[in-house]
A and B are shown apart, each in its own frame.
Chain A
Amino acid sequence: MGASSLASILAACSNSTTASVSSGTGKNSGVPLGPSGQPLARPDRRVTLPLWEDPITSGMQPETGGEFTVFNYPDYIYPKVLKDFGKKYNVSVKVTPFDDINSGITRLASGAVQPDVTEMTPDNLDRVVAAKLIKPLNLDYIPNLKANVWPSLVDPFYDGGSHYSAPYTVYATGIAWRTDRVTEDIEGMSDPWDIFWESQAYKGKVALLSEPRETIAMALLRKGHKDINTEDPALIDQAVSDLKELYGICNIKVGDLQYQTVPEDKAWLNQAWSGDMLAASFYYLPKPSVGKLLRFWNPGRGNGPIQNDMWSICSTTKKPVLAHLFINYMLDNGVGYSNFINFNGYQPPLNEVNPDELISKGLIPENLRNSVLSEADLGPDSLQEMTLTTKGQQLWQNGYSQFLTGA
């Protein structure tokens, strides 16, 4: 059996997880449905998730004492920020890390962890709500959402009314490289994604993100397919076939440590998130002079993926008021700014974060200006990797599996 057809065949093999499609004659008729029975959210298709319980009532005092647990990626939040929050509300704040959001959700669902707040992503929101793993928010406790956050994320398309989430960071997917190693004018290329297919000179030093969605989406974009949520098997097969060309061109590698490997000269050309080179610049420079060599190409609105991470309150919380206050605290201008500049490198979507100001203050080097996003990067025509039907997820995973075989 040919490898190229595996994705579609295996996707068809499932007998237990079928995609639902809405019926009727409304504006959402024929639209695929997510686990909660809602249409799958897209930047041009707004979804409001139903409340599975009432939010907590307003005006309550925060719980104090004991532990407050944040469920998050490792090293994705500034420890000082957490310490200050704990001091303010007289709790001991600890972080329980997860490897990736899928394994995090698995642990939440199994009850293996019982955190108070969790990091979440828009493409998983529908299913964690359907499984009642997160609680509805009472926005009265989170005034910073309206006051400080980019308006488009105050009431985002994937969570109308911010019923379950508040944004944490935003990031675009682009290309990172070192100017002392890569000589091409990547930003001046007619299609910068082509650089990976023209990287014979950098064999062994070229890498892609180890993420099925990001990798295949890049190959789709290179061929001009802007629907990065497609579930067309022919398009996925073609994208995988294109990715396989990279074996011979540059012995392509995959990984998610580009914020280390690029500054350390282990990778010269790397698919990357916009926060990576900033984090590299803040924390991982082997010597300061390397900072000036780092570059990031941001495809810009409508040309490359842009995503945001979020905070949600876990159903397991014993401190629901404090959990709301934590989210509000993270959306405070000073806290968000400190978390971004002093540690994280991933930008909070706060109105006060201004690229020009950050550069003029010397907080972000001019050569990484492209790593800072603005609200204009979002919008109905932005490309966001959103929830797929189960069959769609199988298709993408099997496609990535084929790429990973190296055959």
Chain B
Amino acid sequence: MYPRWLWPAFALPGVVWLVLLFLVPFYAVIGVAFGSVDPILLQAQPAWNPLDWNIGWFSQVLGELTPGGAYWTVFIRTVEYVVVSIVGCFLIGYPVAYYIARHATRTKTLLLILLILPFWISYLMRMLAWVNLLAPDGYVNRFLIWTHVLSTPYGFLDGKSSTVIWALIYGYIPYFILPLYAALDRIDRHYLEAARDLGASPFRAFVHVTLPLSKAGVLGGMVLIALPMFGDYYTPNIVSGAPTTSMIGNQIDLYFHGGPQPTIGAAITILLSAFLVVLMGYYMWTIYRASKELRGA
């Protein structure tokens, strides 16, 4: 009735999108990493042909990303910040998503709107707002002094790791909650009823039914926030500014922003991507295994 190509053709816009806006730019970054630099304008000259690739920069940066290397500390700091922020997003986000999915009734729509609301304001603006809130004479310090929790303003913006991590959590948590909410909302309530009928306490039912069934949502949310967090440079710039709280994204920014070595920025980008691909691989494998188990069940 329909030509065979019709349904696959629906994927065409997505494929074109992926090729034009992901594969081509990514190959351009690879070309830059293995290319050279215009001696006059100091701009990247990508090497499109793999036979022309110069691996000097890449292998050098790879060496610097190993223990003892120049970028090792900043890389490990980035991993720490991202891991702690993800844990924070989980601890804060899971109860929120759970409440909206399972217990909110009339307020569900309102809560979902409130969750989406931050997306209406740019990430940068939200971070800048926090700078004013956390400033020595900002509302947070004023409130803490007014309530006698503090006697003098606390230096939230004095280059503290905790501020950067809280800012990451604040900035990315909506992206964690939404997929998790969707996963929790999809869980068939009959499973929970069955668990309760079989004598499980609400807590045991949550641990043995809800939590495993929401694993894909948790992992999806984690992947969604981990990827941009790893490349983030403006959050530490805005709420800290101290080199001791900088992330690997700040190095990429430095080398791409100007100067004679965009090749180094591109090489760090590729190596970071390779690291993230490993994490993504684990996520894909987990999802694959979960869906296989479901089919088996």
List residues of A whose CB falls within 8 A of some B CB.
1-3, 6, 9-10, 13-18, 35, 99-103, 105-106, 109, 127, 130-131, 203-205, 207, 212, 247, 251-255, 264-266, 286, 390, 393-394, 397-398, 400-407
Contacts and interface: CB of A to CB of B under 8 A. Distances in A.
Q: Give the secondary structure class of B's interface.
A: loop
B218 to A, nearest CB: 31
Given A130-B40, A393-B260, A401-B251, A251 B244 contact: yes
Interface residues of B, number: 48
B255 A1 contact: no
Contact of B243 (A14, A105, A404): A404
Given A255-B241, A406-B74, A390 B41 contact: no
Given A253-B159, A265-B136, A397-B260, A109 B43 contact: yes
B297 to A, nearest CB: 49
Nearest to A265: B136
B155 interface: yes
A1 B39 contact: no
Contacts of A99: 257
Interface string B174-187: 00000000000000
Nearest to B37: A17
B172 interface: no
A10 B37 CA distance: 14
B70 A390 contact: no
Contacts of B135: 264-266
Interface in B37-60: 37, 39-43, 45, 54, 56-57, 60
A254 B260 CA distance: 21
Contact of A3 (B56, B70, B155): B70
Contacts of A102: 42, 257-259
Nearest to B66: A1
Contacts of A407: 70, 72-74
Nearest to B57: A13
A204 B70 CA distance: 24
B260 A204 contact: no
Task: Indicate the member of B37, B71, B246, B261 with the most A CB atoms within 10 Å.
Answer: B261
Interface in B213-261: 237, 240-246, 250-251, 254-255, 257-261
10 contacts: A2-B68, A6-B70, A10-B264, A127-B40, A127-B42, A397-B255, A403-B243, A405-B71, A406-B243, A407-B73
